[in-house]
Structure 1
Amino acid sequence: MFLPATREELAARGWEQCEVILVSGDAYTDTPFDGVAVIGKVLTAAGYRVGVVAQPGLLGPEDITRLGLPKLFWGISAGCVDSLVANRTALGKPRREDDFTPGGRNDRRPDRASIVYANLIRRHAGSRRPIVLGGIEASLRRLAHYDFWEDRVRRSLLLDAKADALVYGQGERAVLALAERLASGRSFHDLPGLCVVRKEPPAGALELPSFEAIAKDTSAFELAHHLFAANAEGPAARQLCQGHGDRWVVHNPPAAPLAREELDAVHELGFEREAHPSQVGKVRALDTVRFSLLSHRGCYGGCSFCAIAVHQGRTVISRSRESLLREAAALTEHPRFRGIITDVGGPTANMYGFDCPAKQASGPCAERQCLGAAPCPALPIDHAPLRSLLRALTKVPGVRQVFVASGVRHDLVLADERQGPAYLADLVRNHVGGQLKLAPEHCSPAVLGLMNKPPWERLVEFRRRYQDEVRRQGVEKHLSYYLIAAHPGCTLYHMTALAEAAQRDLHLRPEQVQIFTPTPGTLATVMYHTGRDPRGNVLFVERSVSGRAAQRAVLSPSNVGEFVPRSARLIVPQDRRHRTPRKRSAKRNGRRRANLGLVFSRLVR
């Protein structure tokens, strides 16, 4: 059953008032992959009356007040993606399309949606109920942070939005505790998983460099990030506080991750797996997740540029096999289901079913990462539980095919000498459609070290084994590779080397190339802002739009048009610069862009 999103639905349930109203920057899709839907279902299961206002209009009170005022609190999420990342490309251009908006046009979510929605509530509904921020935008911006779009350090989102509390990370446990405190009239300021504002710092809290200090001094910024990262998860994490003028943002210790049984229960709350019928237009994001199964939360990777470790944490919580089988059986009853489970995975496909015993007892290690150049010896990598799960899912009545569409960590497959080869054979035989997704990101040892990614040679070895398995089975299956340009420490020389390595070792010219976008809270963003690596060494950082576009164009000639107008003088003879260009066919223009890319790559060698 959908959560109510209209007055008519409230009346149909016999409700006069919601206790909690959730406001989202995305369309309301009732799936376990939509954070607003998950929080709403969890609160509803606990007995609270919850409504949803999705992508409210900004010009008047009609949308934001359509469900009235909540009895307990407003909850705001900018959506599944930071609103600025959702609305702009890495080069700052507006995105025209949006998979999370009905109809696909990117015209419903404002920039800095958390702030805009908080102001909208105060303007049209007053300040009579607490405003609570959540979701990934709030989670990454919970303390003073570097903002790429303004190229400056901004205050905590809690202060900019003038909100009463901010829930960070996976919020089910914290939100339930918050609702209970508010319902009983008690203070919520000490709850784990929350950030609040106080006039004085709490006794015993670890003080971070203030907003004013880190805005002026990059060394103070680095120290603040180090202290924050060391206390972001695990039972030993301390309460933090950070001065902002005459006020203090208090960062309570994190809420404990959900236990396996609790995560199972969340995913069995009866999701419709459809967009709410009041919304007009197709929500394209549903095509990816409607018939997907989330097998686990968290990620061991700790990639420097990735926000997952900041938001979900490095502790992996795997669901039980029995719960996943029940969810698969429920999928077969959906009227649109045609026998294909489109994905079984999480942030990474093959981290299901194993975890470090030391991490379970005391949280992630402070002195080393689980993965990186090589997996930690204490990590008991074992693909047997995942293989067993995939086999069992294919035997569920009504299920014809089970695919793995999430990215696979190839270094984990290679490190598992007992089950890795069999898992790879299973993937090729049963669970890969056209291609398997990998994310090597780069080939340069220096850049990979800054990214905290495994060596390029491990990718080449995995590709060899994959192709051997494909030939052995006599099927046509391929690999796709995700690569990053303009990461801190990456130069045009490194990108040229990557283009050559891709042609030499992978026999392709990559097209899936993402320009690095600094997002708050990540180590790579610290490097981008400070121009130094974690050891204090000075880094090259490409900051110009043309330079960032050029790095991608070296690898992907189809994008050469993003920088050629500014760099045309490098390759266009002087006597032809001002001539009126002749009209060219689309086919000839495509060849020209490709040729320009090759010329440029030769120039920068």
Structure 2
Amino acid sequence: MNQSKKSIRNKLPTNQDIRTIFQPFNGCPLPITKEELISRGWDYIDIIIVTGDAYVDHPSFGAAIIGRLIESHGLRVAILPQPNWRDDLRDFRKLGKPRYFFGVTAGNMDSLVNHYTANKRLRSDDVYTPGGKAGFRPDYATVVYTKILKQLYPDIPVIIGGIEASMRRLTHYDYWSDSLKPSILIDSGAELLIYGMGEQPLHEILRLMKKNVPISSMKAIPQTGYVISKKAGIPKHRDWNTVKLSSHDDCLKDKITFAQNFKVIETNSNQYIQSRLYQITGEKAVIINPGYPPISREELDKIYELPFTRLPHPKYKKRGDIPAFEMIKNSITLHRGCFGGCSFCTISMHQGRFISSRSKDSIINELKKIFKMPYFKGYLSDLGGPTANMYEMKGKKIE
């Protein structure tokens, strides 16, 4: 390790330091501008989250949850929402580089679903952008953002996540180009992928990170994926069964082979105890570790206790309402997961088929927070889950 890296590591706060000095900026959104960093007295950032959505500090927005979760670990986190990828890339430079990693997400939707109709016609609006205006994120946003970050900051790791990364974690059919694409890990060059709801793997990543474990060595964290050389073979893990999928090249040659692969991936994602998946792509191999068990009620409650402002960032005031926020601002999430398994829906592949429900106390506490918001008009738009209301439902064999 060179001297500059040693000096950086020596400056990292210990757990005791965090308990002593960490003071959350209550009532404030996470910073998205240089001016906000200066106002906080920050001369460095630990982690920067790049997202294709506008930044809304609300638990219905993935970047906000992940950002607040990182903040709860006593780390300095900033959000880089909808950076311009078509100019001189100044947006990607304005916050500098983080000490640990960039987190990249296309946003709450796959960027291609966001941009095009089922008939592949360009949409005229984007509900995750102020004023509902389209054109503020690229196609294949996760790949585009990651490649830019790798170009500008080749020494900083990138962790990708969100619905786009989750659905594209292995060889997949891309409707928009009518072709099979390899894992998004291959196309993007990211060091690590988090699939599904990312809180549990993120906790472990941050724990190891504080012990100075490099992200390149984080190979045994559930619910993550990474790339290795094909020559390295399948890494051993005493607790995980490994399923070797047909290679990406074999899938390109035969539709039946791809369909069989997809069946294995889909079936595995619906298991309570999953297998690790291994797929060769050219001279590389993609490994997708099995998922965590469904998040516990206590852990889920803690997420909704994080200090969200429940508002869009003030920067957007003059640019108009964010339609997605207007739709969910008086809505409450009761649970995660859906056992429906509808063919047109990705929820079972992302949140899983097992239901994790919040406690009634947690739900009531969130109700009280909504009642105090200036936009509250005396009614809630809905209480439910990602699809239908499956609160507290579970299989007979699950205790």
For this structure pair, what is the TM-score category when the shorter chain's length is used for normalisation? 0.7 to 0.9
Structure 2: unaligned runs, 5 residues or longer: 1-27
> Residues 185-584 of structure 1 correspond to what in structure 2 (within 5 A)?
185-186=212-213, 187-199=217-229, 200=232, 201-203=234-236, 205-279=242-316, 280-358=319-397, 360=398
What letter corresponds to residue 188 of structure 1 in structure 2? M
Structure 1 equivalent of residue 6 of structure 2: none
Deviation digits for residues 232-287 of structure 1 (CA, Å, limit 9, x no counterpart): 25442111100001110001011222101111111121221211112333211111
Q: Please tell me whether the aligned partners of residues 233 and 254 of structure 1 are also in contact (alpha carbons under 8 angstroms).
A: no
> Residues 140-179 of structure 1 correspond to what in structure 2 (within 5 A)?
140-179=167-206
What is the CA distance between 1:303 and its match in structure 2?
A: 0.7
Larger deviation, residues 138-147 vs 218-227:
218-227
Structure 2 equivalent of residue 552 of structure 1: none
CA distance in 2, matches of 1:185, 1:233: 34
What is the CA distance between 1:69 and its match in structure 2?
A: 0.7
Higher CA-based Rg: 1
Deviation digits for residues 20-74 of structure 1 (CA, Å, limit 9, x no counterpart): 1000001001111101101111111121211100000111232112211111110
Q: Secondary structure at the match of 2:131?
A: coil
What letter corresponds to residue 106 of structure 1 in structure 2? A
Relative contact order: is structure 1 or structure 2 higher (C-alpha 8 Å, sep ≥ 6)?
2
CA distance in 1, matches of 2:96, 2:194: 23
CA distance in 2, matches of 1:166, 1:66: 25
CA distance in 2, matches of 1:266, 1:123: 34
Q: Secondary structure at the match of 1:103?
A: helix
User: 1:46 and 2:73 equivalent?
Assistant: yes
Q: Please tell me whether the aligned partners of residues 182 and 188 of structure 1 are also in contact (alpha carbons under 8 angstroms).
A: no
Structure 1 equivalent of residue 100 of structure 2: 72
Q: Secondary structure at the match of 2:159?
A: strand
What letter corresponds to residue 79 of structure 2 in structure 1? V
Q: TM-score, normalised by structure 1?
A: 0.58
Q: Please tell me whether the aligned partners of residues 31 and 271 of structure 1 are also in contact (alpha carbons under 8 angstroms).
A: yes
CA distance in 2, matches of 1:145, 1:28: 29
Structure 2 equivalent of residue 476 of structure 1: none
What is the CA distance between 1:81 and its match in structure 2?
A: 0.7
What letter corresponds to residue 291 of structure 2 in structure 1? P
CA distance in 2, matches of 1:173, 1:238: 18
Q: Please tell me whether the aligned partners of residues 167 and 195 of structure 1 are also in contact (alpha carbons under 8 angstroms).
A: yes
Structure 1: unaligned runs, 5 residues or longer: 362-605
Structure 2 equivalent of residue 112 of structure 1: 140
Q: Secondary structure at the match of 2:189?
A: coil
What is the CA distance between 1:357 and its match in structure 2?
A: 3.5
CA distance in 2, matches of 1:221, 1:119: 27
What letter corresponds to residue 382 of structure 2 in structure 1? D
Larger deviation, residues 269-278 vs 71-80:
269-278
Q: Please tell me whether the aligned partners of residues 270 and 348 of structure 2 are also in contact (alpha carbons under 8 angstroms).
A: no
CA distance in 2, matches of 1:265, 1:30: 16
CA distance in 2, matches of 1:235, 1:346: 20
CA distance in 1, matches of 2:391, 2:283: 46
What letter corresponds to residue 225 of structure 2 in structure 1? C
CA distance in 2, matches of 1:270, 1:23: 20
CA distance in 2, matches of 1:91, 1:225: 24
Q: Secondary structure at the match of 1:64?
A: helix
Q: TM-score, normalised by structure 2?
A: 0.87
Number of residue-to-residue matches in the alignment: 359
Q: Please tell me whether the aligned partners of residues 273 and 293 of structure 2 are also in contact (alpha carbons under 8 angstroms).
A: no
Q: Please tell me whether the aligned partners of residues 34 and 94 of structure 2 are also in contact (alpha carbons under 8 angstroms).
A: yes
